[in-house]
Amino acid sequence: MELDRGIYQEPCKMTLGQWLDIWQKTYLGHVKPRTAETYQTDIKNHIKPALGAIKLEALTTPVIQAFYNDLLHPTARDIKPLSPKTIHLINGILHKSLQQAVSIGYLRFNPSDACTLPRVERKELRPMDDIAISRFMSAVQGHPYEAIFLVTLFTGMRKGEILGLTWDHVDFSKGSLLINQQLQRLKTNDGKKEERLVSTKNGKGRQITPAPFVMDVLCHQWKVQAQWRLQAGSSWQENGLVFTDQLGGCVFSWNVYRAFKRLAAEIGLPDLRFHDLRHSYAVAAIRSGDDIKTVQSNLGHATAAFTLDVYGHVTDQMKQASAARMESFIKRVSGQ
């Protein structure tokens, strides 16, 4: 018996909602601001309304499972179902918070451990082929965001990374870029939003050596920005960013997204996403002969295995093409 063994703990009378408030305030100091915002939003909009009033000691696996099931297939007609990916994210938040409760003795085990989550179907990649890339490059000529679009397409940088690139991380002599930060729109203490430079998605920096074409685009951007600085005079806002408006202010992510979608529609690709520029770069790099390790490093993926998992279909196509070339060679040398 637990009492006899001296390990008995009085059941925690705290509700899940009360614990989540403590957890957010006390245990999330190490996470990135955007991640903390996501946690706060999902807790406020989904977890607390459904489970917040339940005491920690009364929270069971069936209760949590029913919560997830209702998120996927809402019983109320006026509520939209959430995607499996979103449910996985909500489970991640709830699981982490409950695991912390286990660690400090509020719970004996994590009731979310045994839950079954819906399967996440990976969206089909839609990288541009050579013809589409050629059309895209023609369409962006003279566009205010031409340099942003081209550098993204031929480096695979994420949108936040390209908008957060600063001149001190551009080395024209070596032809290299250091990517160790991204521009994000985050809440301030008074609830307003502002753009801030934070670390990259995985918290690690990477140095890439893009094609000379990319460095030429950046050199042109340097000259254009120098002209803007002269024209703006004392109104210029110096922040070191490579991509700015004509007064030196940062370029807003939403504006880039809208401009990109308009451009994509103009060239007959309305479903193309900004992130597909990154995919297009990766596929083009692999098809051009770059090894997976190099592509992984340039994209900033944690492992080459992840890169292979995402772009494995490209290497499969290359293997099939290689087999076809070998077959042609065999027939030629054998006189068949």
Residue carrying structure tokens 């099931």: 69
Specify the pLDDT at position 8: 41
Residue 18 CA to residue 65 CA, distance in Å, equals 21
CA dihedral 34→40→45→49, nearest 10 degrees, is: 160
- Mean of the pLDDT values across residues 158-185? 95
Residue 294 CA to residue 206 CA, distance in Å, equals 11
pLDDT band, residue 212 (cuts 50/70/90): very high
For the chain, the average pLDDT equals 90
Bridge partner list, 250: 244
CATH code reported for the domain at 2-103: 1.10.150.130
Q: For 322-333, what is each residue's pLDDT tens digit?
A: 677 777 877 787
Specify the pLDDT at position 11: 57
- Mean of the pLDDT values across residues 5-22? 75
Lowest-confidence pick of 221-225, 248-252, 287-291: 287-291
pLDDT band, residue 315 (cuts 50/70/90): low
Specify the pLDDT at position 10: 56
3-state secondary structure the chain: CHHHHCCCCCCCCCEHHHHHHHHHHHHCCCCCHHHHHHHHHHHHHHHHHHHCCCEHHHCCHHHHHHHHHHHHCCCCCCCCCCCHHHHHHHHHHHHHHHHHHHHCCCCCCCCCCCCCCCCCCCCCCCCCCHHHHHHHHHHCCCCCCHHHHHHHHCCCCCHHHHHCCEHHHEECCCCEEEECCEEEEEECCCCCEEEEEECCCCCCCEEECCCHHHHHHHHHHHHHHHHHHHHHHHHCCCCCECCECCCCCECCHHHHHHHHHHHHHHCCCCCCCCHHHHHHHHHHHHHCCCCHHHHHHHHCCCCHHHHHHHHHHHHHHHHHHHHHHHHHHHHHHHCC
This prediction has a pTM of 0.78
pLDDT band, residue 146 (cuts 50/70/90): very high
pLDDT band, residue 7 (cuts 50/70/90): very low
Q: Domain ranges in the chain?
A: 2-103, 130-275
Lowest-confidence pick of 4-13, 214-223, 240-249: 4-13
CATH code reported for the domain at 130-275: 1.10.443.10
Residue of 139, 176, 155 whose CA lies nearest to 262: 139
Share of the chain above pLDDT 90, in %: 69
pLDDT for 4 beyond 60? no
At 83, phi and psi to the nearest 5? -75, 155
Cβ pair 178, 205 in contact under 8 A: yes
Specify the pLDDT at position 220: 97
pLDDT for 313 beyond 90? no
Q: For 54-87, what is each residue's pLDDT tens digit?
A: 999 999 999 999 999 999 999 877 789 999 999 9
